[in-house]
Structure 1
Amino acid sequence: MLTARRRAATAAVILTGSLLLASCGGSDSGSSDGKTLRLWHYEGPTSAMGIAWKEAIKEFEDRHPGVKVEFEEKGFDQIQKTAPMVLNSSDAPDIMEYNKGNATAGLLSKQGLLTDLTAEATKRGWAKKLSPSVRTTSQYDTNGVMGSGNWYGVPDYAEYTLVYYNKDLFKKYGIAEPTTLGELTAAMDKFVAEGVTPLANGGAAYPAQQYLYQLALSKADRSWVDAYQLYKGRTDFHDAAWTYGAQTFADWVKKGYFGKSSSGQNEEKAGTSFTSGKAPIFFSGTWWFGRFKAESKFDWGTFLWPDSRLTLGSGGNLWVVPKGSKNKDLAYDFIDITLSPKIQNLLGNSGGVPVAADAAAITDPQSKTLIENFNTLSKNDGLAFYPDWPVPGFYDVLVSETQKLLTGSDKPAGYLDSLQEAYDKGAPKQ
């Protein structure tokens, strides 16, 4: 799912540095001269992470005289598709950004392609800086399932979903910022009565399924999430939470909260319907924050989904150290720097969600709200990951089945039947 999110949240990725392949052989850090750190990541240069990591590279080189960072910005798809092959060759970088989850970092850890970072996480205090739900995606067991076992990656930012709303449109129609789900529903009814479709949506990509998953989360708890995401118990798609989510979503379709054409729209169309000032509300992730700040020509704000302790989100993508890294100690030092107050504060002031920033150092009002809301979620262990994570191929199932609810070609019970079948087919046997 992040593939789509990266396309939406950043401009097309361009090559910003040239990669000089290391000539020394071997796979251990001891086989290197220690003068080069080869780094790959796929964050755009104007994104919060891109800005912060550029400064981290400068800080790293200042702290390591004579050491050069050889950096290449890769595309998300490029790393996603080629990582197993590259990491199993002599061309593996020393450190790279990689997607978190069972099917990505978990799979590479199971294949023995990543360095076990457990000792470093303890020695350097990384474990203490990350809340439980953030570090879930850092640890993987021997089967590559997240949530327990050894450390194979470290996030230095987080992401979560929230409600973006157009303050100017709310003011125009005399609607106050909702603080409860009832008030949010009343606001959407008011917009519909005024001929305004309230919710930006993309049924051909992740936005639609995330609305439905959030509705289910509002009736769920941590044990429900752990059963679904971590296989700690059986997931019943006809339970109270999933039934509420599917039925309420279908009701919202009938009420006109979603546009009739939204079933065929992708996430980009959903985002631009908000930035253009057409849709007053968009429920999506913090990965849009910087773009909305740059492109929106109206007053807007954010708030957490009302009446829910849980929302979609996780620690950000991971810094991983390939097993074949020739400069592992340098890689660990770079991770340390990205978690330092200086870089974390810069990330926060650039529109990101840092995991270890000084709240008093964040000066932008919208960014302060963004980080305060994350701190609330983190304190409540409120990050519930994403609906497509549990089994391979589930993203496509969620897209196609949620589209059927949007078009009215299926009912909630049939929708939930389809999810149960796909999930049971892909999840480990209990």
Structure 2
Amino acid sequence: MKRAVLAAGLLAITVAACAPGSSAPPSAAPAAKPSAVPTDKPVTLTVWDQEVRGGQGAQMKALNTAFETKFPNITLKRVSRSFDDLNTTLRLALSGNEPPDVVQANNGRPQMGAFVKAGQLVPLDAYADKYGWKKRYPQSVLQYVSYTPDGKIFGQGSLYGLPQVGEVVGILYNKAKLAKLGLQPPKTWEEFEAALAKAKAAGEVPMQLGNLDKWPAIHVFGTVQGGVVPKEQIAALGFGRKGASWNTPENTKAAEQLVSWVDKGYFNKGFNGQGYDPAWQAFGKGEGVFLIGGSWLIADLAKVMKQDLGFMLPPGEAATGGTGLPFAITAKSPNPDAAAAYIDFITSPDAMKTLTDNGLLPIADTAQQQVAEGPQKDMFTAFAAITEKDGLLPYLDYATPTFADTLGAALQDLLAKKQSPKEFLGTLEKDYKTFSDANG
């Protein structure tokens, strides 16, 4: 999923502890006690998902058919909605008397966190033990579907969902341009800085950026930050944990490095006024040597760049990333065991192969997939490597319910030299501390 959509979706949902008009105080849903999947009676599972595009819809259709073949007594009633439609209807559906059994719920506090706090989702730890999910999914992935039962702490606690697909932000590069410059893909930050300088000296656009929508620079800053700030600190900030702070020497260094790229002319002219889509499309047409962006761009760019497209992790031990919307079980579902069997089925090793066959990035068993040499394989290799060493870091806009707006606007000001690095970090600290103090 493209982060533009994700960020918009996060902000579109109002944080709510319980349904409008409800007088009952929110309470955590009881832990599940797994039983055998019923086979002696008809069961209907209602599933709400947002897998509506191309390969997304194809993989769900294939997996649902296979599930019903394996469990002939279970009928799936699938309701497929767009991401925006799902976000705007799910809260109301969960507050009703007959909610869906299985839903895709956005990871962040405005949705999954609010549902957990209201006791509307089932903790899945017992099912995770039964099906071995914690052995198949690294902790750097499971943190994205973990909350404490009160919904306050994100990234810790119990599991409340399981995703199918992964995302990782890396460095896309034009292989032909690098070769023309006599360069190999950089393996260190020093080599990356040297490549940017050489591209600039040769008259190339070193790096494309379209920051009109403000959120794209969050990926660029997160990538720079991952090179100079310990990943434990970034994780604490991204998950909005109390006690973390933006006012540190390491974050100051990251902000100063980003500003230095502006001063040295490493970005395209007018980047703050250029849209995200025009930027990556310009890169696809040969305008730029590098582009910091997500794995979701691979398919579209590969269509035009073919084998000239390369994708690599940032140098170091960390990269920004996340998951697609996880599948969760609603607390009022009368069939939680069947629902858990369904989630296990659509996230199984066989399911990961189905995702791969439909051009998607499976979040588990990524390294085991067979794909042709080229940018898709680069993406698979990168994601497998970063998750294996627990180096996947949260999107920074997860930090607070308002942080996407705060960070995006502050980065635009920082890049326009309207704020100094110190002022930039002060703006972030104010939003962050207001939330963490109230949430503590």
Partner of 2:181: 173
Change (3 A) 1:426 1:295: farther
Say whether the 8 Å CA contact 2:52–2:82 is kept in structure 1. no
Determine the C-alpha separation between the residues in 1 that align with 2:284 and 2:96. Answer: 44
Q: Any stretches of 5+ residues in structure 2 without a counterpart? A: 9-31
How far is the alpha carbon of 1:295 from its aligned partner?
Answer: 4.3
CA contact (8 A) 2:189 2:227 kept: no
Identity between Structure 1 and Structure 2 (%): 28
Question: Whole-Å Cα distance in 1 between the matches of residues 321 and 203 of structure 2?
Answer: 32
Count residues with an aligned counterpart: 407
Name the CA distance, whole Å, in 2 between partners of 1:297 and 1:365.
11
Alpha-carbon displacement from aligned partner over 1:107-147 (angstroms, at most 9, x marks no partner): 21111111222211111111211101111122211331222
Q: Does 2:104 correspond to 1:93? A: no
Indicate if the aligned counterparts of 1:166 and 1:281 stay in contact, CA closer than 8 A. Answer: yes
Mapped to 1, the partners of 2:391 and 2:228 lie a distance apart of 13
Alignment correspondent of 2:402? 393
56-65 vs 315-324, greater mean Cα deviation: 315-324
Aligned partner of 1:333 among 325, 328, 341: 341
Q: 1:19-39 deviations in whole A, cap 9, x for unaligned? A: xxxxxxxxx999xx7443222
Corresponding residue number in structure 2 for 1:193: 201
Distance verdict in 2 for CA 1:201–1:407, change over 3 Å: same
Q: After superposition, what is the alpha-carbon deviation per residue over 1:313-340, rounded to whole angstroms, capped at 9, x for unaligned?
A: 1343210112233433332122111222
SS in structure 1 opposite 2:398? coil
Could you tell me which of 127, 133, 140 is aligned with 2:134? 127
Aligned pair in 2 of structure 1 residues 51, 271: CA closer, same or farther (>3 Å)? farther
Which residue identity is paired with 1:357?
A: D
For the 8 Å contact 1:348–1:357, the answer to whether it is kept is no
Per-residue CA deviations over 1:299-325 (Å, capped at 9, x if unaligned) read 21111101x211101343210112233
C-alpha distance in 1 between matches for 2:206 and 2:345: 43
Residue 282 of structure 1 aligns to a residue whose secondary structure is strand
1:40 matched to 2:48? The reply is: yes
Residue matched to 2:167: 159
Deviation (angstroms), 1:242: 0.9
Equivalent positions of 1:10-409 (< 5 A) are 34-47=42-55, 49-90=56-97, 92-144=99-151, 145-203=153-211, 204-232=213-241, 234-297=243-306, 299-306=308-315, 308-357=316-365, 359-366=367-374, 367-409=376-418
Length-normalised TM-score, structure 1: 0.87
Q: What CA distance in whole angstroms lies between the structure 2 residues aligned with 1:5 and 1:84?
A: 18
The alpha-carbon distance between structure 1 residues 152 and 270, as it changes in their structure 2 partners (threshold 3 A), is same
Name the aligned partner's letter for residue 344 of structure 1.
M
Return closer, same or farther for 1:328/1:259 CA change in 2, 3 Å cut-off.
same
Question: Contact 1:155–1:319 at 8 Å: present in 2 too?
Answer: yes
Once the two structures are superposed, residues 2-33 of structure 1 have per-residue CA deviations (whole angstroms, 9 ceiling, x without a partner) of: 6614699xxxxxxxxxxxxxxxxxxx999xx7
Q: Judging changes above 3 Å, is the alpha-carbon distance between structure 1 residues 294 and 74 closer, same or farther for their aligned structure 2 residues?
A: farther
Alpha-carbon distance between aligned partners in 2 of 1:361 and 1:414, rounded to the nearest angstrom = 46
Compute the displacement of 1:297 (Å): 4.8
Q: Distance in 1 between matches of 2:292 and 2:236?
A: 25
AA matched with 1:95: V
Conserved in 1, the CA contact under 8 Å of 2:237 and 2:246? no
CA contact (8 A) 1:117 1:152 kept: yes
Aligned to 2:4: 4
Q: Distance in 2 between matches of 1:193 and 1:400?
A: 31
SS in 2 for 1:108: helix
CA 348–397 in structure 1, closer or farther in 2 if over 3 Å, else same: same
Q: CA deviation at 1:195?
A: 2.6
Matched to 1:108, the amino acid is F
Secondary structure of residue in 2 paired with 1:427: helix
TM-score normalised according to structure 2 size? 0.85
Cα distance in 2, alignment partners of residues 388 and 404 from structure 1: 17
Mapped to 2, the partners of 1:318 and 1:62 lie a distance apart of 24
Letter in 1 for 2:185: E
Q: Hey, what does 1:19 align to over in structure 2?
A: none
Q: How far is the alpha carbon of 1:229 from its aligned partner? A: 3.1
Query: What root-mean-square deviation, in Å, do the aligned CA atoms of Structure 1 and Structure 2 show?
Result: 2.6
3-state DSSP class of the match of 1:363? coil
Q: Which amino acid aligns with 2:130?
A: K
Moved more, 205-214 or 396-405: 205-214
Whole-angstrom distance in 1 between the partners of 2:332 and 2:276: 37
Q: Mark the CA change 1:331 to 1:393 in structure 2 (over 3 Å): closer, same or farther.
A: same
- 1:160 deviates by 1.2
